[in-house]
Amino acid sequence: MLNWAHIDSVLLDLDGTLLDLHYDNYFWNEFVPARYAQNRSLSVTDAKTKLSPRMLELQGTLDWYCVDFWSKELNLDILALKTELRHLIKLRPGARSFLSYLQTQTQRVIMNWAIPRRNRLSGKNFICWKHLIPNAHCLSTTI
């Protein structure tokens, strides 16, 4: 068990830590290839065959996380496509109770997005972090 008295800051990454990865996995593995196929009159299988090597090549790089890069690379409005599926964004089990617990603590909470602020989803289906943790600070990785 952690001794919270010895911790002054909590740094949280969103994807896979607080947010379930189902949204991202479905978006990149199914939805994007389907839209790419639709825009180019390809089968979804052919689109996946074409896209998969490039996605694997860039995985783990800054471009992998960059909505602007993929929009140019695929000639698709990735942010608009992400917005279409924002209803799939869900917290991981236990994340809400952990965030509620952090509200009662004095530690500084820092949440990191690996995307520029302008590319973040907003709206009623996205999680309002300031509501969940008033003392949270948001850090956006510049890419």
pLDDT tens-digit series, residues 131-142: 555 555 554 444
Supply the pLDDT for residue 115. Answer: 54
Extended beta strands in the chain, E state:
9-13, 108-113, 136-140
Same domain, 30 and 83: yes
Please tell me what DSSP assigns to residue 29: I
Same domain, 72 and 123: no
- Domain ranges, residue 77: 22-87
Q: Number of folded domains in the chain?
A: 2
Indicate the pTM of the whole model: 0.73
- For the stretch 34-62, pLDDT in tens is 999 999 999 999 999 999 999 999 988 88
Same domain, 37 and 78: yes
Same domain, 16 and 34: no
| Residue found by looking up tokens 């783990």 in the block | 60
pLDDT at 114 over 50: yes
Give how far Cα 107 sits from Cα of 6, 140, 142, Å: 10, 20, 25
CA-to-CA distance for 16 and 11, rounded, in angstroms? 14
Same domain, 40 and 71: yes
